[in-house]
Amino acid sequence: MHMDFDELIKARQSCRKYDPEKVVAQADITASLEAARLAPSANNAQPFHFTVCTGETAKQVAVGVQTFGLNKFALDAGCFIVVSEGRYGLLGAAGSKIKRQDYRSVDIGLAVSYLTLKATTIGLATCILGGFDEKALQKLLGLKDRVRLVVVLGYAAEDYPIRPKKRKALDDLTDYR
């Protein structure tokens, strides 16, 4: 599917109704992860790890992202990418201490942004999830590091529309000095 950048950022939306019958092809998962791999990160540290969950594991992840009645739609999705935080190397740790900044969540956000945009170009529907039971996911997947985000990958249900974006006005977000 060819989309220019403006079309792409309108087409990428949080999908909350998945077709439970359609399975995401491995090649499409790989292509989405490849895009994430090429995202920029502070000191090029790439402090993230992607745990791809399909099949029975996906069913358990879907349960692990149920919080406060949110994310019920995930129960129909067959593929989740659980993004955990990698450890900083020496340079990253020193840089972050000196600057009093922790760039790891920023880097994860950028990687997930690339991932979801690439996925959109190949016809996948996505939803970034920040609501999940971190301990349950760590235990399920044997992860020792912090889990920061979960990305749902799938196909939108047939009647699912592309919504117009609801965003703050640019004036409210911007200043020129």
Ligand X SMILES: Cc1cc2nc3c(=O)[nH]c(=O)nc-3n(C[C@H](O)[C@H](O)[C@H](O)COP(=O)(O)O)c2cc1C
- How many residues bind to ligand X according to rule CB under 6 A? 12
Bridge partner list, 52 = 81
Q: Select from 12-20, 28-36, 55-63, 168-176 the region that touches ligand X (CB under 6 A).
A: 12-20
Pick the closer one to ligand X by CB: 52 or 151: 151
Per-residue contact track with ligand X, 55 to 74, x per CB under 6 A?
---------------xx---
Quote the DSSP letter at residue 125: E
Touching ligand X, residues 149-168 (CB under 6 A): 149, 165
Neighbours of 92 (CB within 10 A): 22
137 binds ligand X (CB under 6 A): no
Give the one residue of 11, 106, 122, 128 binding ligand X; rule: CB under 6 A: 128
Pick the closer one to ligand X by CB: 95 or 105: 105
127 binds ligand X (CB under 6 A): yes
131 binds ligand X (CB under 6 A): yes
Neighbours of 38 (CB within 10 A): 9
Q: How far apart are the C-alpha atoms of 82 and 50, rounded to whole Å?
A: 6
Helix (H, G, I), strand (E, B) or coil at 90: helix
Backbone angles phi, psi at 174, to 5 degrees: -130, 145
For 147, counting Cβ atoms within 10 Å of its Cβ (0-12 exposed, 13-18 middle, 19+ buried), the class is buried
Quote the DSSP letter at residue 66: -
14 binds ligand X (CB under 6 A): yes
Residues making contact with ligand X (CB under 6 A): 13-14, 16, 70-71, 127-131, 149, 165
